[in-house]
Structure 1
Amino acid sequence: MANFAKSQQPQFSVDVYQNSYLPEGGREVNAIVTVTSTGGGTSGGVPLAGSTGSASTTAVVLMVDCSGSMDYPPTKMRNARDATAAAIDTLRDGTLFAVVAGTHVAKDVYPGNGRLAKADRLSKAQAKDALRGLSAGGGTAIGTWLRLADRLFGTTGVGLRHGILLTDGRNEHEAPEDLRAALDACAGRFTCDARGVGTDWEVKEVTAIASALLGSADIVADPSGLAADFTRMMENTMGKEVADVALRLWTPVDTEILFVKQVAPAVVDLTGRRTQAGPRAGDYPTGSWGDESRDYHVCVQVPQARLGQEMLAARVSLILPSPSAQEPPQTLSQGLVRAVWTDDLVASTAMNPQVAHYTGQAELARVIQQGLDARKAGDLDGATAKLGRAVQLATVSGNEDTAKLLSKVVDVVDAATGTVRLKAKVAEADEMTLETRSTKTVRVKK
């Protein structure tokens, strides 16, 4: 069990890895920005304004699929109840929490008064009693579950808000645009981990929920594994201490940001989530943080310059919003992205190892998705080519977990060249696991 008792708030650091040299006429600058949060520190001796670290400033809503399909087999619903009970047991005392039963409508089953309960021995026991009343029946409209969770979170002034969502089926009882609208409404208001149990759910739906709400997505193919997975998720949630940290990019005149992506521990494109933060500055959401490190790939296009000229291509800052409008936001750490023009061919053509690694990891995620889509569409040659390239990239980068998942979908003839044969028969759970975990990356070997 994780140890959640922490006396001080985390410190943040920013490290920038790049090759700053550009050839004559060169305009594209790439950098990997590593953000690390370490607990037990303070920011300049002053506690972080938006940090929490205490249970009373953390809120969790558990959304449990109770649609009719959860009755097939009947053990699935029992496993979901047991998993939710295990997650409730993992809550720190003082954490605010609620349980939502999700069908084609959403119902607040505990505490049931439109608010959240405070976790203690009595409320945890009452919540687990309420779980015994959960039964399967009805349809699936996940957008209604998320909107109810948002309303419940809105009854508190808590900074750290986290949802855990379990589904076993496709979102068939609301239009895709209704789910999209719910995600847009909830983005930035709480984070959410999403899990698909069994094999009758839609991978792209579950991963879209996690991506939009800056959480994790995964498959639990065997429902008996739910309790262990829910416990791990809740331990991770209890380890979060700072909410709503933003990656702020300031760029000089005539410089364009081409993209901003989280590239570790998973690939998440943040480019379209920019919010303006003053002249030539924009904020990209990173969600909540505990003791952890994440990597971001920043790509900017700078104006042309003369050989020998040097410029600041971007300033990267970690920003914590202020608790009140009267106070300025807090800058937690900064890093600089530079550009220097040179006629030294060796210097300007060298690729930074971190940039090269994560460019390959982003391609790995992309070709797995393209290969699986081609396989489903009956394009076996296209699927073989894409999944072969995926095997090659996974091998080169040392992404052993992804390589193992690929080996369940293709027979590997030569990993180094990406020569593979599609397996004639693939278990649905294996294919869904590969698709769900395709965006998970490995870090650069030191």
Structure 2
Amino acid sequence: MSEFKVDVYQNEYLPQGAAEVNAIVSVTSTGGGTARSASGPAAEVIIVDCSGSMDYPGTKLAAAKRATAAAIDTLRDGVAFAVVAGTDLAELVYPRKFGMVPAGPETRAAAKRAVNRLRADRGTAMGEWLLLASRLFATRGDALRHAILLTDGKNVHETAGKLDRILRQVSGQFVCDCRGVGTDWEVKELRKISEALLGSVDIVAEPQDLEADFRAMTAAAMGKEVADVALRLWTPEGARVKFVKQVEPSLVDLTGRRTESVPRSGDYPTGSWGAESRDYHVNVEVEPAGIGDKMLAARASMVVPATGEVLGKGQVIAIWTDDTELSTRISPEVAHYTGQAELAGAIEEGLAAQKAGDIERATAKLGRAVALAHSSGHEDTAKLLAKVVEVVDPARGTIRLKRAVSAVDAMTLESRSQVTKRVGRATEEGH
């Protein structure tokens, strides 16, 4: 069983009259972590886009079939699974009767035969795909529930409003990792799905790379041990949580996902956990107190709401002081992740401006992104930026826009812009 450790990084000292407390809640789960070592009930739904565009070129559907077979082979014995073909409808490919079946030699072979018969036709309605996945998962209520959604195009046969309604309906029921193959899909569309379902989004530019990616996603899902974990924040009388954001390994705003739990407490969903670490930026508004006063501004606990089990906890503290040296000290963890959020925003705004032909704004925003990536040591993002702009001076953020940028490079930068780099820990005291 996984064990949870909660550390809080912050500057506890506030100047007189200050009412805002910022902290990074760092959560580390140990135990499990591999498909072999994890145990307990789990369920997997693999959703394959079978719209007509998957036949252009035909290598996409062929690669998707191989990738699906690789995912099926990666499932632990006994894990319930199903395969869905997505068009403007959602069709259960395997098993033939509604429901899910446990993975084993016979069911894996039968599923791969069914997948091999898939053909590309019709349109795209991703909400319908997710609804069918939800109904399938409902037959396995106690399991760790994970889905893979693969598409090569836009959600053209469903309105944005309908997709939003479906996402609200299925949110919290399963985790979904989304992948776009090629460059004819929309990053914002898949990000909307992945964020609502606490998963990831990424581009697989070349169809032949799908197999390794599906295998890795499935192995990660098989390594999860605890489902439906929430970050529970208790605040004292007169205080309120202004925002909660996952800031590592990727940026996800959880503020609007709060559900009330025990008195003066709210739960923020974090999905399933294996052996891993994640960081959350918590901002709490409190009633200012007197110089020298100390307050518990928030209690952060990792809990399983369904059972009430507390997996780990930490404290966010506020101390008011007239010592400016103490109160003006910036927590390196809070500063780092604030910069990471600014980096993601600069990339998103810069790419949007570039698409719109606003050269001045695109240059300013992408230049700022280059400077932030350089100063934070985010080498992966710096390399992606260098494919989209010509970097003259990374420290100053001096760049020139490239005249020709490949769609793959631009979409890779956009899809990975929310991936963050963890701050180095100077100490282990948690402050």
Per the normalisation by structure 2, the TM-score is: 0.96
Cα drift, residue 40 of structure 1:
6.3
Does 2:20 correspond to 1:36? Answer: no
Does 2:378 correspond to 1:399? Answer: yes
Which deviates the most, 175-184 or 64-73? 175-184
2:131 is aligned to 147
Match of 1:172 among 131, 153, 156: 156
**Runs of 5+ unmatched residues, structure 1:** 1-8, 42-51, 324-328
- Measured against aligned partners, the alpha-carbon deviations of 1:148-198 in whole angstroms (never above 9, x if no partner) come to 000011112332011100000000001111111111111100000000000
2:4 is aligned to 12
Kindly indicate whether the alpha-carbon contact (under 8 Å) linking 1:53 and 1:242 is maintained by their aligned counterparts in 2: no
Kindly indicate whether the alpha-carbon contact (under 8 Å) linking 1:116 and 1:152 is maintained by their aligned counterparts in 2: yes
**Cα 1:32/1:144, change in 2 over 3 Å:** same
Match of 1:336 among 315, 324, 341: 315
- Measured against aligned partners, the alpha-carbon deviations of 1:38-64 in whole angstroms (never above 9, x if no partner) come to 0069xxxxxxxxxx9425x10000000
Question: What is the distance in 2 between the residues matched to 1:295 and 1:54?
Answer: 25
The 5 Å alignment of 1:193-342 reads 193-323=177-307, 329-342=308-321
Q: 2:7 is matched by which residue type in structure 1? A: D
1:382 is aligned to 361
Question: What is the distance in 2 between the residues matched to 1:390 and 1:111?
Answer: 47
Question: What is the distance in 1 between the residues matched to 2:62 and 2:191?
Answer: 25
Question: What is the distance in 1 between the residues matched to 2:291 and 2:359?
Answer: 49
Question: What is the distance in 1 between the residues matched to 2:280 and 2:148?
Answer: 25
Question: What is the distance in 1 between the residues matched to 2:7 and 2:140?
Answer: 35
Kindly indicate whether the alpha-carbon contact (under 8 Å) linking 1:59 and 1:158 is maintained by their aligned counterparts in 2: no
Residue correspondences, number: 422
Kindly indicate whether the alpha-carbon contact (under 8 Å) linking 1:262 and 1:269 is maintained by their aligned counterparts in 2: yes
Structure 1: which 4+ aligned runs deviate by more than 4 Å? none
Cα drift, residue 431 of structure 1:
0.4
Match of 1:126 among 110, 117, 122: 110
Question: What is the distance in 2 between the residues matched to 1:141 and 1:313?
Answer: 45
Per the normalisation by structure 1, the TM-score is: 0.93
What SS class does the counterpart of residue 158 from structure 1 fall into? coil
**Cα 1:40/1:151, change in 2 over 3 Å:** closer
The 5 Å alignment of 1:405-444 reads 405-444=384-423
Kindly indicate whether the alpha-carbon contact (under 8 Å) linking 1:27 and 1:303 is maintained by their aligned counterparts in 2: yes
1:160 is aligned to 144
Q: 1:54 is matched by which residue type in structure 2? A: S
Kindly indicate whether the alpha-carbon contact (under 8 Å) linking 2:32 and 2:223 is maintained by their aligned counterparts in 1: no
2:428 is aligned to none
Kindly indicate whether the alpha-carbon contact (under 8 Å) linking 2:32 and 2:38 is maintained by their aligned counterparts in 1: no
Kindly indicate whether the alpha-carbon contact (under 8 Å) linking 1:58 and 1:161 is maintained by their aligned counterparts in 2: yes
Question: What is the distance in 2 between the residues matched to 1:62 and 1:199?
Answer: 21
- Measured against aligned partners, the alpha-carbon deviations of 1:358-378 in whole angstroms (never above 9, x if no partner) come to 110111111111111111111
What SS class does the counterpart of residue 279 from structure 2 fall into? strand
Q: 2:48 is matched by which residue type in structure 1? A: V
Cα drift, residue 306 of structure 1:
1.4
1:63 is aligned to 47
Query: RMSD of aligned C-alpha atoms?
Result: 1.2
**Runs of 5+ unmatched residues, structure 2:** 426-431
Question: What is the distance in 1 between the residues matched to 2:39 and 2:166?
Answer: 29
Q: 2:373 is matched by which residue type in structure 1? A: A
Question: What is the distance in 2 between the residues matched to 1:278 and 1:131?
Answer: 46
What SS class does the counterpart of residue 155 from structure 1 fall into? helix
1:54 is aligned to 39
Match of 1:93 among 58, 77, 85: 77
Residue identity (%):
61
